[in-house]
Structure 1
């Protein structure tokens, strides 16, 4: 059972360097997932004044000329912060996207949103699909026969592919651990716990999470 909560799946394209080394985002996309479906999306190029080297231009298809006429990064990030307000986040190789997310929001003077906690489809795939050839997004898309969302290394295509991977993960967890879930939805909170669990402790992780949720609900009912 996939969760009815809305999750924002994000992806950045960048100038090639990390934000601590002077790298900047060149494109961002966010895809909203709810109740087993993609329900909305946001995508924009971002003008930062950064120079994009030729090999990154060839990889992404995003040229310096395209970025020269893009909307300012601060404007894009403010719009994106509004689009994802109150939503937990998912990314493929989330440590990379988290770095740019935090850096670009800070440069845009956007207040941090406590709901913006990341879950990572790389970490989840390592635990759930040890038989996969590797955890690259394209490899996992082929492994699971996910829909073709267009050119790789463009933000909306990669975010959409990651969204389909997230839906597959939620569905597989729901079916594989039906007894442990006992009807509980596969929420972002559960995925966040699973990504930190070992491969051999997934059942116990789900059981512990479900019991904690039940105790929390019982406590709320008692207070009410």
Structure 2
């Protein structure tokens, strides 16, 4: 049975998808049994304006998007790359709404759930200084994946974090690497109840 998970990240020009707020970059890291086995990245030209603040944060400029593929091309490629692989993201509620919105523009709909490394880190690593992706990566000394707030670098960083969380769960509870469905279940229970949840799953 494949234990592959597609960890995705979007860069966007705003917080909520709509006519004037779209994805400007997507990155996907395919994670399988603790290592990244595939990558996809593309800038996206949806004809929207990137405000200076967002440009400073991401390094993605309006000039860079001029020759980028339109969403109909980039998102179709990303959707084919992911297929029916289970999904994960850091702060998945953000990436999920852009994934769903951009798929809807193609007449497609998501079938798989999202695991959220932000929610999981709050439960597995409550002692962390905070649960931002960059903070966790530095605190855990995860491998450097490149510039923060670029889609593939952040997707790979979230994938490294997910590997760490799976390993931590395995060390603490003697379980195999938690699969995607278990991760989705764990992010809905409190930190105090994770052991009880895993015991119920094993039973």
What is the TM-score normalised by the length of structure 2? 0.96
* Residue 207 of structure 1: how far off its partner (Å): 1.3
Secondary structure of residue in 2 paired with 1:19 = coil
Once the two structures are superposed, residues 66-98 of structure 1 have per-residue CA deviations (whole angstroms, 9 ceiling, x without a partner) of 111101111111111111111110100000000
Which aligned segments of 4 or more residues in structure 1 are displaced greater than 2 angstroms? Answer: none
Once the two structures are superposed, residues 26-49 of structure 1 have per-residue CA deviations (whole angstroms, 9 ceiling, x without a partner) of 000000000111100000000100
Partner of 1:199: 191
- Say yes or no: does 1:128 pair with 2:124: yes
* Residue 21 of structure 1: how far off its partner (Å): 7.5
Larger radius of gyration: 1
Unpaired runs of at least 5, structure 2 = none
- Say yes or no: does 1:141 pair with 2:130: no
Partner of 2:106: 108
Paired with 1:15 and 1:107, the residues of 2 have a C-alpha distance of 17
- For the 8 Å contact 2:167–2:177, the answer to whether it is kept is no
Once the two structures are superposed, residues 140-174 of structure 1 have per-residue CA deviations (whole angstroms, 9 ceiling, x without a partner) of 00111001111100001100100100000111111
Once the two structures are superposed, residues 96-140 of structure 1 have per-residue CA deviations (whole angstroms, 9 ceiling, x without a partner) of 00010000111122x2242x2100000000001111000000100
Paired with 1:208 and 1:9, the residues of 2 have a C-alpha distance of 27
- For the 8 Å contact 2:103–2:110, the answer to whether it is kept is no
Partner of 2:90: 92
- For the 8 Å contact 2:100–2:110, the answer to whether it is kept is no
- For the 8 Å contact 1:19–1:103, the answer to whether it is kept is yes
Unpaired runs of at least 5, structure 1 = 212-224
Q: 2:157 aligns with which of 154, 161, 172?
A: 161
Give the count of matched residue pairs.
Answer: 203
What is the TM-score normalised by the length of structure 1? 0.87
Partner of 2:169: 173
Q: 1:50 aligns with which of 42, 48, 51?
A: 48
